[in-house]
Amino acid sequence: MKTQLPFLLAAATCAGGCAADPPPFAPVANVAYSAVGADPFWMVTIGDHRIVLTLGPAEGGKGLVSHDYPRVLPRETETTTFWQSGEGTDVISIEARKESCEAGGRRFEDQVRVTLSGRMLQGCGGRLLAGGRR
């Protein structure tokens, strides 16, 4: 009976409702870098073994659309970090320049440009800077 006591207590605790809040949207578990932009909405997340570009709905559409690419090692200069992944006509390029950037009242450390098969998206990424919220 003593060995069953912890399991019975856990079951009794959850009987009242163990339903957890849904987790926040996270396309990868271990985020190494992320960036976001608006007009149109987009978000890129680099982590685990993937680069995930999430786009807002197409005109008249609903829901987010995500595109996955294999994670690659970045190329770096003093001021810029580059990632490029994909093949053929489905290639994503991400350029993060060390220049402060503001989005949604928040200040980020990088200005980011994402190019996806000729389409260019601009936004902000990297660390949120101190005093970054208005």
In a domain, 44, yes or no: yes
Are the beta carbons of 71 and 59 closer than 8 angstroms? Answer: no
Residue 71 placed within a domain:
yes
Count of domains forming the chain: 1
The model's pTM is 0.75
- Where in the sequence is the domain holding 39, given as residue range(s)? 27-128
Cβ-based neighbour number of residue 67 at 10 Å: 15
In a domain, 98, yes or no: yes
Q: How far apart are CA 52 and CA 63, in angstroms?
A: 16
Res 95: pLDDT: 98
83-128 per-position pLDDT tens digit: 999 988 889 999 999 999 998 889 999 999 999 988 999 999 999 9
Looking at residue 59, its pLDDT comes to 74
Average pLDDT, stretch 12-26? 52
- Residue 56 and residue 32: Cα distance in Å, rounded? 22
Share of the chain above pLDDT 90, in %: 54
Q: Is residue 133 in some structural domain? A: no
Task: Identify whether 14 is part of a domain.
Answer: no
Judge whether residue 6 has pLDDT over 70. Answer: no
Confidence of residue 22 (pLDDT cuts 50, 70, 90): low
The answer to whether residues 125 and 34 touch, using CB atoms and an 8 Å cutoff, is yes
Distance in angstroms (rounded) separating the CA atoms of residues 25 and 7: 31
The more confident residue out of 5 and 106 is 106
Does some domain include residue 5? no
User: Can you give the pLDDT at residue 103?
Assistant: 87
**pLDDT exceeds cutoff 60 at 74:** yes
In a domain, 11, yes or no: no
